[in-house]
Amino acid sequence: MAMSKDDMAMVAMEIVAYSGDARTKYLQAMDAIAEKDFAKAEALIKEGDDLILGAHNQQTELIRKEAAGESIEIGFLTVHAQDHLMTAMLLSDMCKKFIKMFKNQ
């Protein structure tokens, strides 16, 4: 059975929302890193990572459904959601690297 277009849009918007909230936490963490407040930065990164998990769970559910033979229609909104998720995940990685770099200075 195929997911309805409305269901697919809802999943995509959830991914965008989780990813956008995570991105905000990561950008706040970057500000904390610049101020050398590493405890605050690490707490913000943890909050962002928890949000990313929500987005990742939505993405994994789509993968699971497709692997089970369900028809998944990939539209522009889904691609947009994937872009948000991947850029937020990259920002998480960058924050973690920056903490390592700046702590050693």
Q: What single-letter DSSP state applies at residue 3?
A: P
Residues in the chain predicted with pLDDT less than 50, given as ranges, are: none
pLDDT at position 3, please?
79
Contact (Cβ atoms closer than 8 angstroms) between residue 8 and residue 59? no
pLDDT at position 103, please?
86
Catalytic residue among 72, 80, 87, 94: 80
Say which residue the tokens 């959830």 belong to: 14
Whether this prediction's pTM lies above 0.85 is answered by yes
Q: Where do the domains of the chain lie, and which CATH numbers do they carry?
A: 5-103 (1.20.58.80)
Query: Which region, left, alpha or beta, applies to residue 70 given φ > 0 means left and ψ of -120 to 50 means alpha?
Result: beta
pLDDT at position 1, please?
65
pLDDT at position 92, please?
97
* Active-site annotation holds for 80: yes
Q: What single-letter DSSP state applies at residue 68?
A: T
Alpha helices in 1-105 (DSSP H): 5-34, 38-67, 76-103
Q: Which long-range contacts link 63-70 to residues 24+ away (Cβ below 8 Å)?
A: 65/3, 70/1, 70/2, 70/3
